[in-house]
Amino acid sequence: MSAKPFVRYVGIGVAALAIVAGAVYLLERGMAPPGEPEQTANPAAPNPSAASTTPPSPDDQAGPSTVQTDQLVSLIGEARRLADAGKFDEAQAALQKADKVYAGWSETEKARREIAQMRTPEGQLKTQLDRARFAIEHDDRATAENALAEAERLNAQTPQIAELRQALEKAEQKDLHRGNRVTELLTRMREDIARGDFAAADGDLNAAERVDVQDPAIREARRELARARDAKQKEEQK
């Protein structure tokens, strides 16, 4: 055999061996076992999905029951009324009772802050001015006078005191005018009765009621008119 055919056979054999070796390598890669699964989580590591065992904070607790709420509202209302009357120690005692019913309720704390502010000289002055203003609006001159006197004791230089005194004077003048008007109408009513004109008497009495229905003279005038009408009817029946 010549050298060239020999070399050719050798080359073919080497190529065949290379192909076989490549096939074996690829086969081994395809049959390799799958990779190891991820490492199991460390049991000692914190688990965010685990239920928390931390006790709830006060903010997370349920609110007061219906019965407790009724008690709290009553006690807080009492505390505010006492504070309005200047009885701050009694007001604080009422709030302490509310704390025993349910500690830390937001409305109790709100009332405590408000009452603490009312207890300051500025807060007391504001309370008296508000009381005087409310009394003037509701024609309660005695309460208005007392509140203004207390406000002057606290701070006589407060400009609102002079403004409220002017408003009180206007209200008094208005009441005087109203009283005069009622007296005028009731006088006319009696003149109507004397003439026997009960329809006109009713009209004058009703007009007086529209001026000031709270005037006690009007109630007495209505009884007077009723007696006069009854007497007139009895006279006519004779």
171 pLDDT exceeds 60?
A: yes
Q: How far separated are the first and last CA of the chain, in Å rounded?
A: 177
pLDDT in tens, 133-160: 999 988 888 999 999 999 999 899 999 9
pLDDT in tens, 113-123: 999 988 898 99
- State which of 123, 143, 168 marks the end of a domain: 168
CA distance 174 to 226: 30
- Of 1, 22, 19, 23, the closest CA to residue 11 belongs to 19
Is residue 95 exposed (0-12), middle (13-18) or buried (19+ Cβ within 10 Å)? buried
230 pLDDT exceeds 50?
A: yes
85 pLDDT band, cuts 50/70/90, is confident
Residues 68 and 164 in one domain: yes
- State which of 168, 201, 219 marks the end of a domain: 168
Q: Mean pLDDT, to the nearest integer, of 77-98?
A: 92
Instruction: Name the domain count of the chain.
Output: 2
Residues 133 and 207 in one domain: no
Q: Is residue 142 part of a domain?
A: yes
Which structure tokens are listed for 68?
């407790």
Q: Contact at 8 Å (CB) between 164 and 136?
A: yes
Q: Is residue 221 part of a domain?
A: yes
Which structure tokens are listed for 63?
């609110």
Residues 129 and 188 in one domain: no
